[in-house]
Amino acid sequence: MPEQLVPLLALTAALFFGGAGNAVRQAVQHVDSQVASMLSILATFGIFVLLMPTWFEADDWRNPAVWVFALNGLIHPVLSRFLAYEANRRIGATVAASFDATSPLFAAAIAVLMLGERVDLLVALGTCLTVLGVAWLYWNPARVPSLMKAALLFATGAALIRAVNNNVSAFGLGLLPNPVMGACISFGVSLLASTVLFAVRTRRGTLGVPPRAGVLWCLAAGSLSGVAVICLNTALWLGDVVIVAPIVSAAPLFTLLIAWS
């Protein structure tokens, strides 16, 4: 039964990531990408802390997987969210989503090489169709030539880091079957790193006080992402990366549907 929940959990993660995408669109109109990512990470981390009574086990902190999740936090979400938000700001959500759709391909390749997962023909076909479907829906060739470098640097970078995160999380959850704790550790490290960067920038006088609207949109994005991350990590704990990643990559479709509604 638990394995049968994997597609539903992954789809739920995609839904909430999609909702967060709309909030991000609004947030980056008011605050810069680094501040937006820091505030959203804060909100996501807050969700995990509020849920601490449901997942906290003192013995789990002695598990070596704690260091796996901590190291993961040095790049995700602190770097992946910044790159994704900056891509959204610079090249728009449509082109960014086209490049972000490549994440399942990276994730599947890493899962096969590093985790020893197997990809059958049906899974491979489904992954390719998902990637192509999202890319086709969002692709705008007229805008690509002048924006290609930015897209490759920011959007594809974010997709690659997310793919690495999926596999690192799956590996860590194999050692420590506590999805929320694993996410809490990674996001805690990322929050510390992004806060230090924010403090340095503030001290240099390069930042002002973020407007209230921007703060609220960032917190909304982070809260929605918090629910999504819990579903994602639980799916990675119960299932394989090659199954979970393609389903979660459908998030831009939900972003579009929510925007239309």
What is the pTM assigned to this prediction?
0.89
pLDDT number for residue 27: 93
Q: How far apart are CA 49 and CA 192, in angstroms?
A: 15
Q: How far apart are CA 23 and CA 220, in angstroms?
A: 6
The CA angle 186-18-123, to the nearest 5 degrees, is: 80
pLDDT number for residue 20: 92
Q: Who wins on pLDDT, 141 or 45?
A: 45
Q: Which of 192, 17, 184 is nearest to 97 (CA)?
A: 17
Question: What's the rounded mean pLDDT across residues 58-63?
Answer: 96
Omega prior to 77 cis, within 30 of 0 = yes
C-alpha torsion angle, residues 31, 35, 38, 41 (rounded to 10): 10
Domain ranges, ordered by start, for the chain: 2-260
Q: How far apart are CA 71 and CA 49, in angstroms?
A: 19
Phi first, then psi: what are they for 107, rounded to 5°?
Answer: -60, -45
Q: How far apart are CA 154 and CA 84, in angstroms?
A: 6
C-alpha torsion angle, residues 161, 5, 40, 89 (rounded to 10): 60
Checking if the pLDDT of 183 tops 70, the result is yes
Q: How far apart are CA 88 and CA 106, in angstroms?
A: 20
Checking if the pLDDT of 181 tops 70, the result is yes
Checking if the pLDDT of 1 tops 60, the result is no
Residue 229's pLDDT band (cuts 50, 70, 90): very high
* Mean pLDDT score across all residues of the chain: 87
pLDDT number for residue 138: 57
pLDDT number for residue 17: 93
pLDDT number for residue 152: 67
Q: How far apart are CA 252 and CA 100, in angstroms?
A: 9
Sole residue written with tokens 């991000």? 24
Checking if the pLDDT of 42 tops 80, the result is yes
Give me the amino acid identity at 126: G
pLDDT number for residue 134: 60
Phi first, then psi: what are they for 9, rounded to 5°?
Answer: -65, -45
Q: How far apart are CA 49 and CA 189, in angstroms?
A: 14
Angle between helices 241-248 and 6-27 (to 10 degrees): 40
- Token pair listed for 92: 């728009």
